[in-house]
Amino acid sequence: MLWQDITIAGTGAWIPPIRPEHVPWEKPVSGQPSMAALNGFTSAAVSTDHTAAQMAARAGLKALRHADVTGADVGLLVHANFQDEDHYTPAPYLVRVLGGPDTTGIELGAASDGGAAALVTAAGHLTARPDAKAALVTAGARFPDKRWGHVRETGYVAGDAGAAAVLTRGTGFARLVATAQAMEPQLEVLTRAREGRAGVGLIEETGLMPHIDALQRSTRRCVETVLDESGVKPADISHVVAIAIGSVVLDLVLSGSSLSLRSDDTSWTFGRHLGHAGPSDVLLALDQAFRSGTLRAGERVLVVSFGLGFRWTTALLEITRDPVAAPSAGRSTTE
């Protein structure tokens, strides 16, 4: 789908302390590197004092300030979350903290694809509502070790973080050019709760490797659709933002597309230190890219996202003016 006059005007991120020691592969019991280490993870961001929604709220404040937009300007707040045990209805909380009297808030549950899917939802709102000045996308993830520590055995490390982006009509520094989405609903059985193990799906036992063909197929379809519709060639892409699911998985997934890239050619070089932060991944990477001072007007950024269920979102962005370099993620004594 091609978009007209929809831009990203600001981003924000809130990342708790990064703890290399949180990832127990320094002294593997077997004497062999763990699956997570082989998959390229080096550390994880771990929150002990903020919930997922609170981290999303802090990121949202940063994004609003970055965009010079007030909560009263926000017509829709779309919050991407995943199994938030602390806030059953986080969107109203986020509207109370970030929004205005006319802001509508909704939760979007698309697992790790949530951040990218929320961008599409927010863009659709601005397109359908010409009177809306801005839409705010937030994402938050917190994975307590007691519940999620076992995922290291399947090859990835879960990380905690909040992230956000403000979409406006024509005033931002990154134009949303095109998006594509896909699903492989026949695989939803992999995420059903296992008998006698509440909240644990088959996918947590098998990992993603047995399903690489499906991941490659839908990734290729989404990437090709976005490039074909926009008339952009793979060589025209200067930056690729991908979910931080691990170098081995990303290498295999990207090998099925026309990009001719490996994980180290993407935002994975940033994400590997934070862990896989679910729906926050791509928004975190966009914030890091926009605030780093490395992007220039005319460059194109491709977002490649997917999540359990299984769902995919690919988005093509064009930088319309040089983003101003600024401090990105992290704690702040002023917030």
Q: Are residues 51 and 66 in the same domain?
A: yes
Q: Which pLDDT belongs to residue 85?
A: 86
Question: Strand pairing partners for 108?
Answer: 80
Tell whether 45 is covered by a domain.
yes
Same domain for 194 and 159, yes or no, is no
Q: Is residue 225 part of a domain?
A: yes
Q: What are phi and psi of 10, to 5 degrees?
A: -170, 155
Q: In what order do the strands lie in the sheet with 174-183?
A: 104-108, 74-80, 134-141, 161-169, 6-14, 174-183, 311-319, 300-307, 239-242
Q: Which of 155, 172, 189 marks a domain boundary?
A: 172
Look at residue 119 in the predicted model and tell me its pLDDT.
98
Q: Are residues 189 and 232 in the same domain?
A: yes
CA–CA gap between residue 120 and residue 125 (Å, rounded): 9
Which residues lie closer than 8 Å to 208 by C-beta, 6 or more apart? 154, 155, 215, 245, 249
Under 8 Å between Cβ of 225 and 180: yes
Q: Are residues 17 and 160 in the same domain?
A: yes
Confirm if 91 and 121 have CB atoms less than 8 A apart.
Answer: no
- d(CA 142, CA 329) in angstroms, rounded, equals 16
DSSP string, 59-126: HHHHHHHHHT--GGGEEEEEEE-SS-SS-SSHHHHHHHHH--TT-EEEEE--GGGHHHHHHHHHHHHH
> What total number of domains does the chain contain?
2
Q: Tell me if 136 sits within 8 A of 99, measured CB to CB.
A: yes
Position 158, amino acid: A
Q: Is 66 among the domain residues? A: yes
Q: What is the pLDDT of residue 334?
A: 32
Domain residues for the domain of 54 are 6-172
Residues 6+ apart with CB under 8 A from 220: 256, 257, 258
The model's pLDDT over 22-38, given as tens digits with 9 standing for 90+, comes to 555 444 445 566 778 88
User: Same structural domain for residues 133 and 248?
Assistant: no
The predicted structure's pLDDT at residue 188: 87
Q: Which pLDDT score, from 0 to 100, does residue 20 have?
A: 83
Last residue in a domain, options 172, 196, 211: 172
**pLDDT in the model for residue 200:** 56
CA dihedral for 53, 54, 55, 61, sign (positive or negative): positive
- Pair 145, 188 in one domain: no
Residue that is written with structure tokens 């082989």 in the block: 38
Strands 6-14, 174-183: pairing is antiparallel
The pLDDT, as a whole number, for residue 25 is: 46
Task: Report the distance separating Cα 266 and Cα 259, nearest Å.
Answer: 11
* Same domain membership, residue 265 and residue 179: yes
Give the distance, in angstroms, between the CA of residue 263 and the centroid of all CA atoms in the same chain.
Answer: 16
248 & 288 share domain? yes
User: Is 326 contained in some domain?
Assistant: no
Residue 333 pLDDT: 31
User: Is residue 180 domain-shared with residue 105, that is, in the same domain?
Assistant: no
- Select from 172, 207, 240 the last residue of a domain: 172
Shared domain for 197 and 150, answered yes or no, is no
**Which residues in the chain show pLDDT less than 70?**
21-33, 194-200, 325-326, 328-335
**Residue 329 falls inside a structural domain:** no
Say which residues have a Cβ less than 8 Å from residue 33's Cβ, sequence separation at least 6: 25
Residue 327 corresponds to which tokens in the numbers above?
């401090």
Q: Would you say residue 328 lies in a domain?
A: no
Look up the CATH number of the domain holding residue 280.
3.40.47.10
What does the alpha-carbon distance between residue 16 and residue 243 come to, in Å, rounded to a whole number?
A: 18
In this structure, the answer to whether residues 151 and 217 fall within a common structural domain is no
Number of H helices, E strands in the chain: 10, 11
Q: Does residue 91 sit in the same domain as residue 234? A: no
Tokens of residue 167, six digits:
């979409």
* Res 22: pLDDT: 54
- On whether residue 24 sits in a domain, the answer given is yes
Q: Is residue 330 part of a domain?
A: no
| DSSP letter for each residue of 25-64 | -SS-TTSS--HHHHTT----B--SS--HHHHHHHHHHHHH
